[in-house]
Amino acid sequence: MTHYEKLVRDRIPEILESKGVAYEQRIATDEEYRTELIKKLQEEATEFAESDGDIEELADVLEVIAALRSLAEYNTVTSIQEKKRTERGGFLKRYILKGEKP
């Protein structure tokens, strides 16, 4: 039997109940929620990379990012993203650099 304890999407308990799957549920503390979201981002990003860019996996990454952005400590991330894009650019020009690291 597989054991788990991880953050899941909001409707997973409802889906498990409809299938008759037994589980325990609790609500994460604020700090635990942040920590679990960061772990979930790593999990979903790895799944995206391993799937060779599957759009469903990218959607999962974006969902976790949306949840992280809802946290007070990350509420300025969009303005920081825009600032960095202005100062350093984005990735749309597709530049690949090759050279020695200093």
Report how far residue 3's alpha carbon sits from residue 76's, in angstroms, rounded to the nearest whole number.
37
pLDDT in tens, 19-37: 999 999 999 999 999 999 9
The whole-number pLDDT of residue 35 equals 98
Q: Please check the confidence at residue 10 and state whether its pLDDT lies above 90.
A: yes
Mean pLDDT confidence for 88-98: 97
Q: Please check the confidence at residue 2 and state whether its pLDDT lies above 90.
A: no
Residues 6+ apart with CB under 8 A from 41: 61, 64, 65, 68
pLDDT in tens, 42-58: 999 999 999 999 999 99
- pTM given for the model: 0.89
